[in-house]
Amino acid sequence: MPELPEVETVCRGLAAVLETRVLRHLELRRKDLRFPFPAGLAALVEGRRVAAVRRRAKYILIHLEDGGVLIAHLGMSGRMLIGPAEGLVLETHDHVVFHTDHGVAVRFNDARRFGFLDHARAEDLGRHKLLEGLGPEPLGNEFSGPVLAEKLAGKLAPIKAALLDQKIVAGLGNIYVSEALFVARLSPLRSAGTVSGARAEKLVRAIKDVLTRAIAAGGSSLRDYVQTSGELGYFQHQWAVYGKEGEPCPGCTCAHGILRIVQSNRATFYCAKRQR
């Protein structure tokens, strides 16, 4: 499920029900997800009011009024589902439940358990092991052609791999990298270091365009639904290339159509004629 647009959608859903509310009870139904939950996590959260829900890269940051921050990551299969606490029915893989002071329950469901939950002080976030070193937010003003080109300079790895590296730009994942490279008409096989100048400008515009459209659509749903309401995101209907091996290229009349290759053990979709 979750790349930047999906995490952004989840954050907006969480903000609507959690901000200004007190977290009465943090129900930990196992002792770990990808990592063990930090010692005393429930006590660090219970009785605190939520000041704000924010996103950094693919991390959900739940700021508490006492300066503590809950850091959540959805991994590959994580979901946050909001519903009434009364008559709550837990489902398989509901590992954590947040209970608010106004009768709302948020279930953190994660079948594959690649997600996690951590706690930090707000003033320490910049030095948090998982957050330090993250590259710029792709939708922020600070993410520009020159900034990207500088990060890519000298890199021999394919541009596909570089864009998945969260130190270069934070929040892209496997789907949106293929989509952005298609919009920018750049081959995923091209060496990252050759993307500079006008090419870098074009790629930055493509990344911002794809992410903005995906957020507007509520993200993409594959097997899981994305939004906290349980509604489907529908950006998958706007994909140009992802998952479309063998289908006609939407941008040209090439005979081969959309190709699927494997880079760094992950599927890449592209048009070899339109993308150079």
Partner DNA sequence: CGGCAAACCTGCGAGC
Partner DNA sequence: TGCTCGCAGGTTTGCC
Assess whether 36 carries a catalytic annotation: no
What is the nearest approach in angstroms of DNA to the Cβ of residue 88? Answer: 20
Check residue 58 for interaction with DNA (CB under 7 A).
yes
* Catalytic choice (3, 6, 8, 179): 3
**Cα distance between residue 132 and residue 124, in whole Å:** 10
Q: Would you state the structure tokens that stand for residue 37, as one six-digit string?
A: 């939950």
Between 86 and 91, whose beta carbon lies closer to DNA? 91
Annotated catalytic residue: which of 55, 58, 151, 160?
A: 58
**111 near DNA (CB under 7 A):** yes
How far is C-alpha 78 from the geometric centre of its chain's CA atoms?
11
Reply yes or no on whether 5 is catalytic.
no
Per CB under 7 A, does 57 bind DNA?
A: yes
Pick the piece of the chain touching DNA (CB under 7 A) from 20-28, 61-69, 120-128, 149-157.
149-157
Which of 174, 187, 228, 275 is close enough to bind DNA by CB under 7 A?
174
Rama region for 64: left / alpha / beta (φ>0; ψ in -120 to 50; rest): beta
Strand partners, 60: 55, 72
Q: Is 91 a catalytic residue?
A: no
Find tokens 């995101």 and name the residue.
233
Stretch that binds DNA, among 2-10, 95-103, 135-143, 179-187 (CB under 7 A): 2-10
Pairing of strands 59-64, 48-56: antiparallel
Residue 14-53 contact track with DNA, rule CB under 7 A, x = bound: --------------------x-------------------
Choose the binding region for DNA from 36-44, 47-55, 119-127, 154-162 (rule: CB under 7 A): 154-162
Q: Which of 166, 194, 196, 229 binds DNA (CB under 7 A)?
A: 166
Nearest to 135 by CA among 4, 2, 269, 6: 4
- Where do we find the tokens 């509901």? 94
Positions touching DNA (CB under 7 A) are 1-3, 6, 34, 57-58, 73, 75-77, 92-93, 111-114, 130, 155-158, 161, 164, 166, 173-175, 192, 219-224, 226, 263-267
Q: Which residues are catalytic?
A: 2-3, 58, 266
